[in-house]
Structure formats: structure tokens, C-alpha cells
Amino acid sequence: MTGVDRERIEAATRELLAAIGERVDRAGLESTPQRVAESYAEFFHGVGEDPLDVLGEGMPLESGDSGEIVIVRDIAFRSMCEHHLLPFIGTAHVAYAPRERVVGLGRIPRVVEVLAARPQVQERLGEQIVEAISTGLQAAGVLVIMDAAHTCVSARGTQQARSTTVTLASRGTLADPVERAEVVALIARGGDE
């Protein structure tokens, strides 16, 4: 969390509070600039972090291993919409078809976290996750399904509190409609068990 200039965020927060007509020095707001700077350091820690470093090199498949589909379901994530700097929170499901290497299962959620921890739009976030796993593991195919609630939709504008957005990104063998359908069915079955 070294890339965030906390002093500038604190100064900008004081200015924002003054711009909406608040007294920055009142008791409830005295520490708000510091709290906002701390929050932003956490929200945006992925800026400048390389998801390929997080993914690592992976482990070679043993001879005779088939390289079947690997699915990590229900990865909780949060990100900040780059249009309004409001959070969107959801679940990612990541599947990949290994070619020669696999990765420790904990690496997949970490890639999602790093890419989500920057100003984002959901559509690009899914594509970036696919690209990182495809490139980093030289996977035969990758599929990412994301389902998220956006506070820019639920708390302002149309105020659709129960609305979510689902996006799908895929590459390689998992871009094939038949292959993709099988994986989507496996992911969907996860919620029924």
C-alpha cells in the first residue's frame, strides 16, 4: 500500500467536505480525512501491482495428468467503479483448462483481488482476470463469470437496490460455446448443493 499519497487524499477530502458545505473541523469529521485516506489505500492497493507476480509460475502437471477443467467458485470481491468512485461488490467464478501447468488454488482469488483493487468497470475486470490467467499459466482456456451489485445503480440514479450485473469473459477452448456451456452449468450447480 505504498503507492497511495495519503496526504493528498486527506487534503482532497477536506476540500470535498468544505465544497458540500460541511464544517471540516466539527467533531464527527475531524478524523474523516485520515479515515478516507486509509480506506483509499486499501481500496486501491492493486494499482501498479502485477497480477502475474501474484499468480506465480505454477506447477507442472504430472505426466499422465489430463489437465481437466479447474473451477474456483464464489470468490468474493469488491472494487470501485471508475465512473463514480462508488463500490461494486460481488462474486467471481474462475475456470481454466490447464495446458501444462496448474497453480495453487489460493492464487486465483488473489489475482481477482489485485485486479479489483483499482478503479474499474466490471466488464474490463473480467477481461483482465482472463488475460492474467491465460498469459500467466498459458492455459488452454479461461472463463470468468462475475455477478456484482453496483452502488452507483443501487444508491443513486435509478436506485435499483436489488439489481446485479453479470458479465462473462472467456478465451481459448472455453470460448467455444459447447465447452463454455458445460463449465457454466458446473458453476451454476455450485449454488444448488
In a domain, 161, yes or no: yes
Residues 16 and 86 in one domain: no
Residues 36 and 55 in one domain: no
In a domain, 20, yes or no: yes
Residues 42 and 36: their CA atoms lie apart, in Å, by: 10
Catalytic residues: 81-84, 122, 150, 152
Domain that holds residue 29: 6-43
112 annotated to bind ligand: no
Instruction: Give pLDDT, residue 102.
Output: 93
What tens-digit pLDDT sequence spans the chain (193 residues)? 458 899 999 999 999 999 999 999 999 999 999 999 999 999 999 999 999 999 998 899 887 666 689 999 999 999 999 999 999 999 999 999 999 899 999 999 999 999 999 999 999 999 999 999 999 999 999 999 999 999 988 888 888 888 899 999 999 999 999 999 999 999 998 755 5
User: Which DSSP letter does residue 54 get?
Assistant: H
Q: Report the amino acid identity of residue 163.
A: S
Q: What is the CATH number of the domain that holds 100?
A: 3.30.1130.10
In a domain, 175, yes or no: yes
93 annotated to bind ligand: no
Residues 133 and 65 in one domain: yes
> pTM of the entire structure?
0.91
Report the domain count for the chain. 2
Residues 150 and 57 in one domain: yes
Instruction: Give pLDDT, residue 1.
Output: 44
45 annotated to bind ligand: no
